[in-house]
Amino acid sequence: MAAHDHGDEPHQHGSELSETQLRVRALETVLSEKGYIDPAALDVIVDYYETKVGPRNGAKVVAKAWRDPAFKEALLADATKAVGTLGHVSRVGDHLVAVENTPKRHNMVVCTLCSCYPWEILGLPPTWYKSAPYRSRAVKDPRGVLADFGVTLPMDTEIRVWDSTAETRFLVLPMRSAGTDGWSEEKLAELVTRDSMIGTGLPKNPSEIR
């Protein structure tokens, strides 16, 4: 886990984790015995996040926006409503906002205060998104952060960082990869990486998926 990776403290992963495991087991037992939670429902929730929701949901939305100008317009106007029209993607709650990358402007999303992230459309956030290096640097040195991801943007591209300090959640609509004229939504979706929808990456090129 990234928070442990600074390497400056003598953490003992083994014993710490098993202590945490025991605490979590105790929590679940007590909350169940109190009647607050249903372990069977927990199983389904875990399965949902492990297998049902993830960046593929967002990729489908992006691919559709790339092919369908009316959908793209609707998405940028009200992402919650637009995504709600796609039955095959999950229903999303209010406050989803899609922000469009253009040749002039690149968007990047962070949550400096905790780790807010558009779970419903991208699944659970990766560890780096929740880490102190990302949370601290994204708002101050976004080009440096992009360099950590191997991404270099033109020096005159405006970079817009969105700090998710409230319940609004941001989905970056990356620029469509070149050389994809006529591609199907399914094929386009394969180009759309998770990081490209956070703004720390770019979509793949056609050559990268062949």
Partner 1 sequence: MDGVHDMGGMDGFGKVEVEKNEPVFHASWEGRVLAMQRAMAYARAWKIDHSRFAQEQLPPITYLSASYYQRWVLGMEKNIIERGFASAEELKAGHATTPGKMLRRKLTVSVLQDALTRPSYFRQQQAPALFKPGDRVRTRNIHPKTHTRLPRYARGKLGVVEQCQGCHMYPDSVAVDQGDNPQWLYTVVFTANELWGPDADLTVRVSIEAFEPYLELASR
Q: Does 74 engage in binding with partner 1 (CB under 8 A)?
A: no
Closest C-alpha among 85, 77, 35 to residue 60: 85
**58 C-beta neighbours (distance < 10 Å), count:** 28
The verdict on whether 116 is a catalytic residue reads: yes
State which of positions 98-157 bind partner 1 (CB under 8 A).
110, 112-115, 119-120, 123-124, 126-128, 130-143, 145, 148-149, 155-157
Hey, which bits of 111-168 come out as E strands? 158-163
Cβ closer to partner 1: 63 or 111? Answer: 111
Shortest approach of partner 1 to residue 72 CB, angstroms?
18
- How far is it, in rounded angstroms, from Cα 173 to Cα 199? 9
Distance between first and last Cα of the chain: 32
Name the helix (H) or strand (E) containing 104: none
| Out of 12, 44, 187, 208, the residue judged to bind partner 1 by CB under 8 A | 44
Identify whether the C-beta of residue 148 lies closer than 8 Å to the C-beta of residue 51. Answer: no
Q: Which region, judged by CB under 8 A, interacts with a second copy, from 9-17, 79-87, 92-100, 112-120? A: 9-17
Closest C-alpha among 156, 188, 161 to residue 175: 188
Cβ closer to a second copy: 12 or 21? Answer: 12
Structure tokens at 196: 């490209």
| Dihedral angle of Cα 101, 107, 109, 113, to the nearest 10 degrees | -150
Q: Which does 12 bind (CB under 5 to 8 A by kind): a second copy, partner 1, none?
A: a second copy
The verdict on whether 114 is a catalytic residue reads: yes
The verdict on whether 32 is a catalytic residue reads: no
Q: Which region, judged by CB under 8 A, interacts with a second copy, from 7-15, 67-75, 135-143, 152-160? A: 7-15
Q: Which does 31 bind (CB under 5 to 8 A by kind): a second copy, partner 1, none?
A: partner 1
Q: Give me the 11-50 binding string for a second copy, x by CB under 8 A, dash otherwise.
A: -x---x----------------------------------
- How far is it, in rounded angstroms, from Cα 112 to Cα 114? 6
- How far is it, in rounded angstroms, from Cα 44 to Cα 21? 20
Q: Does 10 engage in binding with a second copy (CB under 8 A)?
A: yes
Q: Summarize as ranges the residues that interact with a second copy (CB under 8 A).
A: 9-10, 12, 16
Supply the residues annotated as catalytic.
111, 114-116
